[in-house]
């Protein structure tokens, strides 16, 4: 693929109803300028605030409307951890689009009626999170409202009036001034997305590729082995916003619909690498409740709306929340390069601190989770200081199979936060095999956790506390599964 024949190109998106084209070769923006920085640079989008610049406060929340199948789908995202280049083909909505003067949107009316703001810094972000809920859930329950607001912090109002405002607003079954225009927006976005040529966004310091097909993606990765893959950018954007790094070469996989499919056969469920964590969460509720429950306490809804499953695996973080349960489920990866495919168990894929077996020309394309033997019991656990929007101190994914003689037939105890990477407690597992699943045997096995791990002390917890947490999680597991 010759770079010269790639059309150096611009991105196109809708800001409200206005089409915007940005040609990076002449604009002051970089492809890695965050959406928040871009919006703040405009004279008429100042509702969007910067609180933390790392996805933790929700002050920058905006809503994307994007094509999903045959419909327009709305999702709240943190604009501070989204690269501007990745908004190609989307509609971006901020509070300025909702209503003005006497023509307030029902959400804004409810916020006023319920006195749901004081200083107002957080209010646009809350309003947009509620808007995401309003357009997606016709009759939200309290728990849906709490989930929708899981990424927003307010330091002055208190949350009750805001929750009340959300409940009060969501009585119109998602109908509002946007409803009648959805067909037209759908057409406009379809037209923008109809061009499937690779977008090559070049500035003096950056080269950013947006391919639209797997074949183009694999060719690009072959030719640019050092390019950083971008999924939902919730990890890598922090390198720009917090570490002030320039990321010179990026291949963004977010435009590939091919990587966003979820399917199953009799034995396996397949998740495309580009599936958002929220899509995975919703799809796996019945089949893999242990994965569903860990995803329900993963970041916040706006983080899960954009972050991908392959990003969580590819980051190989020692406290990744999906890795322990995926390993306990015996999940594997489909990995591709231009020459073909290979498959590898996730357990063998992670080989060190943020290290995987991925070669420089390879890409994770699918995650495969086998349906479990009916005797397998799966559980996932996360210990963090807060339930929402917090990363794990220690997490775990456990699988237990007890045979008809009441003995442990097989067991997997996978821990995160206990070593440089997510790992099985193999000695502890061994000490439980073929034993009765009783408190005495489990308590005896606990001392092996010390042989399996030598955790570090850091800001989140001391080594001793981690050791104790790991032991207590196993006891909790026993308590929840005892016969």
Number of alpha carbons in the 13 Å side-chain half-sphere of residue 69: 5
Name the token pair of 384: 């963090």
Q: At what angle do helices 160-169 and 123-136 cross, to 10 degrees?
A: 40
**Three-state secondary structure call for residue 20:** strand
Do residues 445 and 433 lie in contact, with contact meaning Cβ atoms separated by under 8 Å? no
Q: What is the SS3 assignment for 469?
A: helix
Q: Using the rule CB under 6 A, which residue among 6, 20, 391, 465 binds ligand FAD?
A: 391
Q: Report the residue from 57, 230, 297, 400 that binds ligand FES according to the rule CB under 6 A.
A: 57
Select from 49-57, 91-99, 374-382, 411-419 the region that touches ligand FES (CB under 6 A): 49-57
- What does the alpha-carbon distance between residue 220 and residue 129 come to, in Å, rounded to a whole number? 36
User: Does 80 sit near ligand FES (CB under 6 A)?
Assistant: yes
Query: Shortest distance, CB of residue 311 to ligand FAD, whole angstroms?
Result: 2
Strand order in the sheet with 262-264: 262-264, 268-272, 363-370, 332-337, 340-345
Element (H, E) at 348: helix 346-349
Q: Give yes or no for residue 417 binding ligand FAD (CB under 6 A).
A: no
Q: Does 84 bind ligand FES (CB under 6 A)?
A: no
Residue 61 beta carbon to ligand FAD: minimum distance, rounded to whole angstroms: 12
Q: Which residue, judged by CB position, is nearest to ligand FAD in the bound state? A: 311
| Piece of the chain touching ligand FAD by CB under 6 A; list 30-38, 166-174, 207-215, 233-241 | 233-241
What value, to the nearest 5°, has the Cα angle with vertex 259 and ends 267 and 293?
A: 60
The yes or no reply on residue 310 touching ligand FAD (CB under 6 A) is yes
Q: Is 158 among the residues that bind ligand FES (CB under 6 A)?
A: no
Q: Is residue 56 at the binding interface for ligand FAD, with CB under 6 A as the rule?
A: yes
Residues 115, 162 contacting (CB under 8 angstroms): no
Q: CB-based contacts of 422: which residues, under 8 Å, 6+ apart?
A: 318, 320, 323, 324, 327, 350, 414, 415, 416
Q: Closest distance between ligand FAD and the C-beta of residue 236, in Å?
A: 4
Under the binding rule (CB under 6 A), the answer on residue 82 touching ligand FES is no
Least Å distance between CB 380 and ligand FES?
26
Q: Quick check: 308 binds ligand FAD (CB under 6 A)?
A: yes
Closest Cα partner for 366 from 253, 272, 274?
272
The binder of ligand FAD chosen from 72, 111, 303, 325 (CB under 6 A): 303
Residue 53, contacted partner among ligand FAD, ligand FES, none, CB below 5-8 A by kind: ligand FES
Only one of the segments 175-183, 196-204, 304-312, 461-469 lies at the binding site for ligand FAD (rule: CB under 6 A); that segment is: 304-312
If binding is defined by CB under 6 A, does position 211 make contact with ligand FES? no
By the 8 A CB rule, do 76 and 129 touch? yes
Token pair in block for residue 162:
């805001």
Q: Is residue 284 within 8 Å of 290, Cβ to Cβ?
A: no
309: left (phi over 0), alpha (psi -120 to 50) or beta: alpha
How far CA 365 is from CA of 224, 227, 266, 294, in Å, comes to: 18, 17, 20, 22
Binding span for ligand FES by CB under 6 A among 50-58, 65-73, 95-103, 393-401: 50-58
In the complex with ligand FAD, the residue whose CB is nearer, 279 or 429, is: 279
Closest CA to 286 of 381, 345, 366, 371: 371
Comparison of 90 and 105: residue with beta carbon closer to ligand FAD? 90
Applying CB under 6 A, does 60 fall inside the site for ligand FES?
yes
The H or E element that residue 191 is part of is helix 182-193
Binding flag, residue 438, ligand FES (CB under 6 A): no
303 interacts with ligand FES by CB under 6 A:
no
Query: Of 355, 467, 475, which is closest to residue 421 (Cα–Cα)?
Result: 355
Is 112 a binding residue for ligand FES by CB under 6 A? The answer is: no
61 interacts with ligand FAD by CB under 6 A: no
Nearer to ligand FAD, 310 or 376 (CB): 310
Stretch that binds ligand FAD, among 69-77, 176-184, 264-272, 358-366 (CB under 6 A): 358-366
Q: Applying CB under 6 A, does 273 fall inside the site for ligand FAD?
A: yes
Q: Which of residues 422-481 bind ligand FAD (CB under 6 A)?
A: none
- Does residue number 240 form part of the binding site for ligand FES (CB under 6 A)? no
Binding residues for ligand FES, rule: CB under 6 A, are: 50-53, 55-60, 78, 80, 117-123, 154-157
Binding residues for ligand FAD, rule: CB under 6 A, are: 54-56, 81, 228-236, 253, 273, 277, 298-299, 303, 307-308, 310-312, 314-315, 320-321, 358, 363-364, 389, 391
């Amino acid at each position: 693929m010759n770079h010269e024949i790639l059309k150096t190109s611009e991105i196109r998106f809708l800001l409200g109803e206005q089409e915007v084209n940005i040609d990076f070769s002449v604009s002051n923006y970089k492809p890695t300028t965050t959406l928040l920085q871009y919006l703040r640079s405009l004279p008429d989008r100042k509702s969007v605030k910067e609180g933390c610049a790392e996805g933790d406060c929700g002050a920058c929340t905006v809503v994307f409307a994007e094509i999903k199948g045959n419909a327009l789908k709305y999702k709240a995202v943190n604009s501070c951890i989204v690269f501007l280049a990745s908004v190609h083909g989307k509609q971006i909505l901020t509070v300025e689009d909702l209503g003005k003067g006497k023509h307030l949107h029902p959400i804004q009316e409810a916020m006023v009626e319920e006195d749901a703001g004081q200083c107002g810094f957080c209010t646009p972000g809350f309003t947009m999170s509620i808007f995401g809920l309003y357009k997606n859930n016709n009759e939200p329950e309290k728990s849906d409202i709490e989930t929708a607001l899981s990424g927003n912090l307010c330091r002055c109002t208190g949350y009750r009036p805001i929750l009340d405002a959300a409940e009060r607003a969501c009585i119109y079954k998602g109908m509002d001034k946007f409803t009648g225009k959805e067909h037209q927006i759908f057409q406009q976005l379809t037209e923008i997305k109809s061009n499937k040529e690779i977008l090559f966004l070049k500035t003096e310091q950056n080269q950013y590729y947006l391919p639209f097909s797997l074949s183009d993606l694999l060719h690009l990765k072959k030719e640019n082995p050092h390019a950083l893959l971008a999924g939902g950018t919730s990890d890598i954007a922090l390198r720009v916003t917090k570490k002030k790094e320039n990321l010179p070469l990026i291949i963004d996989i977010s435009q590939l619909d091919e990587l966003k499919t979820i399917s199953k056969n009799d034995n396996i469920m397949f998740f495309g690498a580009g599936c958002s964590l929220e899509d995975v969460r919703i799809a796996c509720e019945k089949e893999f409740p242990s994965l569903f429950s860990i995803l329900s306490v993963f970041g916040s809804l706006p983080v899960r709306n954009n972050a991908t499953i392959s990003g969580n695996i590819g980051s190989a973080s020692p406290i990744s929340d999906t890795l322990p349960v995926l390993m306990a489920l015996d999940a594997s990866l489909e990995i591709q390069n231009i020459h073909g495919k290979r498959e590898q168990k996730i357990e063998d894929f992670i080989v060190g601190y943020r290290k995987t077996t991925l070669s420089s020309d390879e890409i994770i394309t699918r995650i495969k989770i086998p349906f479990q033997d009916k005797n397998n019991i799966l559980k996932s656990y996360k210990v963090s200081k807060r339930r929402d929007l917090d990363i794990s101190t220690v997490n775990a994914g456990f699988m237990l199979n007890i045979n008809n003689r009441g003995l442990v037939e097989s067991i997997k105890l996978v821990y995160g936060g206990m070593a440089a990477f997510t790992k099985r407690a193999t000695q502890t597992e061994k000490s439980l095999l073929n034993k009765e699943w009783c408190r005495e045997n489990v308590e005896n096995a606990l001392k092996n956790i010390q042989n399996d791990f030598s955790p570090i002390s850091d800001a989140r917890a001391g080594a001793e506390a981690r050791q104790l947490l790991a032991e207590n999680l196993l006891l909790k597991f026993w308590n929840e599964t005892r016969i």
